[in-house]
Amino acid sequence: MRELRGGSRARLRWRRHLRGTRPGRTPQPNTDGRCLRSEPTDGRRGQDHGGAASPETGRTHVFVYEDDPDLIAVVERRGYVRNTERASDHLVYDIGDTPSPELPDGYRLFSMADECDVDKRREIFGRSFNHEDPREWPSRFAYEELMRAPDYRPELDLVLASDDDTYAACCIGWYDERNRVAHLEPLGTHPDHRGQGLASVVLLEAIRRLEDLGATYMPMTGGFDPFYKAFGFRKLRTCYAWERTPDGST
């Protein structure tokens, strides 16, 4: 059970993770539960599942895997229409015998357990995501809150810095110990340092550390697919955005 804003509760079911022959589990919203099954009755038009309508399109969206007939039936009944142009692949990386990455000349790799400069760490996050004001986004408060998350591990919060101590690439690994699943969020490279394999280096090191903890695979949906596919992730299925306008028109 998970408590949602306002005190209501959603049930989660544990279901097999579709990853070929090896078993695994991933939490999914329980489509038998009231949270997704019930029709909207509270007048919160333009909202669904906690998501507000986009200011640009005026539409609310829900991402649904193509092979989830239960959830597809629910969103269809609620007036959503599939946008085939807004899709993301569900990828997976099988973890095993991960080598140590080879560091490019002029760079060093460390974690927030080694050096904890929150201001530089959040700035490389903002810069790598091309944020217009990376010194302010994410805020120090936001990053410190992230570091307080119960499953945050500073040794999985990785940074590649150049010799002049510019932070050049970063990623955070997360470990779901119960299911032995690795997660990654976020990962990025400073625009001035792209195309040199830096993101691949931090990702490989994150995976190596996650393997040491016991992780057997890393799923990925909604990332930059060309990078992950080049790294070695394989496609399992597609996830589509289902959309509707607040008044129910499409």
Least distance from C-beta 221 to ligand COA, angstroms?
A: 10
211 or 225: CB nearest ligand COA:
225
Q: Return the number of the residue (62 or 169) whose C-beta is nearest ligand COA.
A: 169
Q: Return the number of the residue (50 or 191) whose C-beta is nearest ligand COA.
A: 191
CB of 111 to ligand COA, least distance (A): 18
Q: Which stretch binds ligand COA (CB under 6 A): 15-23, 53-61, 113-121, 225-233?
A: 225-233
Q: Which of residues 40-99 bind ligand COA (CB under 6 A)?
A: none
- Applying CB under 6 A, among 197, 208, 211, 238 the residue interacting with ligand COA is 197
Q: Report if residue 223 touches ligand COA, rule: CB under 6 A.
A: yes
Q: What DSSP assignment string belongs to 39-102?
A: PP-S--TTEETTEEPPTTT--EEEEEETT-HHHHHHHHHTT-EEEEEEEEEEEEEE--SPPPPP
If binding is defined by CB under 6 A, does position 172 make contact with ligand COA?
no
Angstrom distance (rounded) from CA 87 to CA 130: 22
Q: H helices of the chain, where? A: 34-37, 69-77, 118-128, 140-147, 198-213, 225-231
**Which of positions 151-170 make contact with ligand COA (CB under 6 A)?**
169
199 binds ligand COA (CB under 6 A): yes
Is residue 239 within the footprint of ligand COA (CB under 6 A)? no
Number of DSSP helices (H) and strands (E) in the chain, helices first: 6, 14
Nearer to ligand COA, 53 or 91 (CB): 91
Among 128, 161, 218, 240, binds ligand COA (CB under 6 A): 128
Which of 95, 203 has the CB closer to ligand COA?
Answer: 203
Enumerate residues 6+ apart whose C-beta is below 8 A from 225: 88, 89, 91
Alpha-carbon distances, residue 170 vs 142, 177, 194, 200 (angstroms):
17, 22, 12, 10
Q: Does 187 bind ligand COA (CB under 6 A)?
A: yes
Q: At what angle do helices 140-147 and 118-128 cross, to 10 degrees?
A: 100
Q: Which residues pair with 10 in a beta bridge?
A: 2
Among 37, 82, 194, 208, binds ligand COA (CB under 6 A): 194
Nearer Cβ to ligand COA (20/186): 186
- Which of 177, 178, 187, 189 has its CA nearest to residue 220? 187
- Quick one: which segment of 10-18, 66-74, 192-200, 234-242 binds ligand COA (CB under 6 A)? 192-200
Neighbouring residues of 123: CB distance < 8 A, sequence distance ≥ 6: 134, 135, 167
Distance CA 163, CA 243 (A): 47
- Which residue, 76 or 185, is less far from ligand COA as judged by CB? 185
Place of tokens 């097999």: 16
Binding residues for ligand COA (CB under 6 A): 128-129, 169, 186-189, 194-200, 223-224, 226-227, 230
